[in-house]
Structure 1
Amino acid sequence: MNLTPTNEFPNESEIASRLEKVQQEMHKQGLDYYLCHDPDNIFYLTNFANFIHERPFIVIVPVSGAITFLIPKLEEPHVQIRSVGEINYLSYFEFPAPKGEMWFDRLQDVLKPSHRVGIESLCPVNVHNAVPGEAIISDIVDDVRMIKSEFEINRIAYTCQLLNEGHATLLEQAAPGHMPVLSHKEISGSMTQRMITDNLSSNLLCTNFAAVSQPPNLSHDPHNFTDVLTTMVEGGPHVTVVAGKANGYGAELERTFFLGHVPEKAKKPFEDMLEARALAYELTIPGNCMSEVDRKVNDFFKSRGYAKNLLHRTGHSFGVTNHEAPFLAEGYEHEIKPNMIFSIEPGIYLPSIGGFRFSDTVLVTESGNLKMTKAPETLEELTLPIKNL
């Protein structure tokens, strides 16, 4: 499959296609309306990025026809500038507001007691309680988001391009004594600047980048970035994390690397991690079960003695977020299908040695998979010469 990276916004046809898929599923479930409160689902259906606060934004999806977007009057011009597609706007003045002028009063101008209304499983209680008819929990939009359109694949491919460049710069800067926080500042700024240069209307509300690494005394604890003054050291394993969303679409790229030499105790875990990774790639193909991919990878690690050194699943998806369904995880009994996108990142974590993990953003194709991110792969390539600061 040929990728054509793009940083453009979705057009009306793309948004209409997403809405059509949602409405088809609503029809199957016998719903009259569906409410989206989750900012990620709202962005997916409108291209408008918001964050949750006391003034709610709610997309009201009918089983046919255009959506209604319930918004604070304060945000109306902003919403109309950013939104894409056929949308009916319904505004409320403020929160709190006098009786009869609250956001839920406007919601009930559309929804009636006779309506069957779908709501997200993470829908806030106050929104749930404002539904006058029967509220049915169903994550329709989240489910539709699992299979990516050609546009989404190419948007994620663009984010991957930025991450590839940022990761290469991070490895170029790696040296004993270097502070990863300095790389983060420079590289995340550079990726943001490149994104804006490529699209001057880029939306910073749905953009974030990280470009960091953990030295061996922290890399066994994959989310521990509490010591911002930590420095790289000779040896390893160091683990990189270069990830983020560019203009609303996420991806990630991670590697384990060494400075100067590879400690003897790190050689076998590194090779075992690569073998588990190869197994995950072999299994992440159309028709296979996501749960089975993770189970077989975990079984492999356990056969090598790492049962107590596993901290996470084999992978997760990307889209309008950095982490979303579907998941390569035991207990997640779903079929892998073409045009799904996953991280493939089996890892092992040894407190006395460090962490061992690669992560790539991977597209499932009709016949296999395609790695969308690029970085060094071998122990030789990832044993970096020591540079003077």
Structure 2
Amino acid sequence: MKQNRLNKVIEGMNDRKITQLLISDPAAIFYLTGKWIHPGERLLALYLNINGDHRLFINKLFPVQEDLGVEKVWFDDNNDAVEIINNYIDKDKTLGVDKNWPARFLLRLMELKGDSNIVNGSIIIDTCRMFKDDEERDLMRASSKINDMAMKKIQTYIKDGLSEKQMASKLLEIYENLGAEGFSFDPIIAYGANGADPHHGNDNSMVKEGDSIIIDMGCVKDSYCSDMTRTVFYKNVPPKSKEVFETVLEANKKAISIIKPGVRFCDIDKAARDYIDSKGYGKYFTHRTGHSIGLEVHDLGDVSSVNTDAVQPGMIFSIEPGIYIPGEVGVRIEDLVLVTKDGCEILNEFNKELVVIE
């Protein structure tokens, strides 16, 4: 296992007085072992104990032969895997279980364990994952670099008259050619008034002159996610759309400008939101300013008005203010930022200033 990461998780367990932890989330297991195992409906669980008695419970269906630095406990479809786990855990100690473990396994364990001394332990490893180590920072930079290159390429296809769905298909091809493993989330390509829906589902719409074009996209490279949004215009920019764009761009910049250790997430959100409010578009900014990202496109943590935590070095999150005017126009501009010891590093280098596709 990755010892430095394991040590941080054990430290978190000690802080929360949880002596044993059962982890089923494949991303969390990868984080600690360096191995992706996708169990489908079958049980997979990594058991950690602060005394060092760690086990990986794994179905024989998954031929994991390499040494992962943890003893494997094998079972097959004919075994009661939860009963096997129950034989290893300390019955009289609190057990942390992660939020993703299916109820059919959890309820069976509660029945066998004979008490309710089970708590949600996800906060422990999720908090560790909020702080990227040097290896993860480099991987996030590499993923964002590919995203920059893909954004440059996909914008060249706008003038070819492709539908939103066709653009999304083209984007997957671009990512594969650039060496990415695929999408980190289903991309959003939104023409014109479709952009007023922040989570628009790509359809057969065709771009029209004067349309804003929201391109919200991300890829996975070496298991780490990227995410970026740019808004461009086709042929020309109507005056109101230009005003909306400039407002969102300035909100993005104002939020990024105050990021440094000790600044609260809610104050970063406020910097973007207050500026949009001041321009009269506050009611059209309908979502939080950002979210944490790493092995998953939405890791624990967000940039919102209710998150009073202070940012710390190693955190990576998005800054993505937007304005969405129903039936008219949508604009969103998103960058990923890495908090450094005295400020932040913007992971996206691709142009976010006003662009008109001719």
TM-score by length of 2: 0.91
How far apart, in 2, do the equivalents of 1:359 and 1:207 lie? 17
Secondary structure at the aligned position of 1:230 is classed as coil
RMSD of aligned C-alpha atoms? 2.1
Q: After the TM superposition, which residues 85-164 of structure 1 pair with which residues of structure 2 at under 5 Å, given as runs?
A: 85-94=68-77, 97=78, 101-129=79-107, 130-131=109-110, 132=113, 134-138=117-121, 139-164=123-148
Deviation of the 1:238 alpha carbon: 0.9
Deviations 1:226-249 (A, max 9, x none): 52x222222221111121322311
Deviations 1:49-99 (A, max 9, x none): 344633111111111436311111111x1x335xx74111112211xx3xx
**Which amino acid in the other structure matches residue 65 of structure 2?**
Q
1:354-369 mapped onto 2 (5 Å cutoff): 354-369=329-344
Residues 251 and 276, structure 2, Cα contact 8 Å, conserved in 1: yes
Q: Distance in 2 between matches of 1:69 and 1:234?
A: 57
**C-alpha distance in structure 1 between counterparts of 2:185 and 2:42, whole Å:** 27
Which residue in 2 is equivalent to 1:320?
295
Would you say the 8 A contact 2:190–2:202 is kept in 1? no
1:45-60 to structure 2, matched below 5 A, reads 45-51=32-38, 53-60=40-47
- Confirm or deny: 8 A CA contact 2:251 2:271 kept in the other structure: no
SS at match of 2:195: coil
Aligned letter for 2:322?
G
Q: CA deviation at 1:171?
A: 1.1
Deviation, 1:187, is 2.9
Matched with 1:383 is: 356
Report the Cα offset of residue 280 of structure 1: 0.6
Cα distance in 1 for partners of 2:187, 2:173 equals: 10
Shift of 1:212: 5.0
Aligned residues: 352
* Distance in 2 separating the partners of 1:192 and 1:121: 32
Give distance in 1, aligned partners of 2:175 and 2:233: 25
Which of 13, 24, 27 lines up with 1:37 in the alignment?
24
In structure 2, the residue matched to 1:220 is: 196
Map 1:1-389 to 2 at 5 A: 15-51=2-38, 53-65=40-52, 67-75=54-62, 77=63, 79-81=64-66, 85-94=68-77, 97=78, 101-129=79-107, 130-131=109-110, 132=113, 134-138=117-121, 139-175=123-159, 177-195=161-179, 208=184, 213-227=189-203, 229-379=204-354, 382-385=355-358
Does structure 2 conserve the Cα–Cα contact (< 8 Å) formed by 1:36 and 1:60? yes
Work out whether residues 58 and 71 of structure 1, in 8 Å CA contact, stay in contact via their aligned partners in 2: yes
2-structure distance, mates of 1:64, 1:246: 35
- Match of 2:300, SS? strand
Gaps of 5+ in 1: 1-11, 197-203
3-state DSSP of counterpart to 1:277? helix
* Distance across 2 between alignment mates of 1:230 and 1:316: 29
Give me the whole-angstrom Cα distance separating, in 2, the residues matched to 1:208 and 1:357: 18
User: In the aligned structure 2, how far is the partner of 1:273 from the partner of 1:307?
Assistant: 11
Question: Runs of at least 4 residues of structure 1 off by over 4 A?
Answer: 206-212
Determine the C-alpha separation between the residues in 1 that align with 2:319 and 2:282. 19
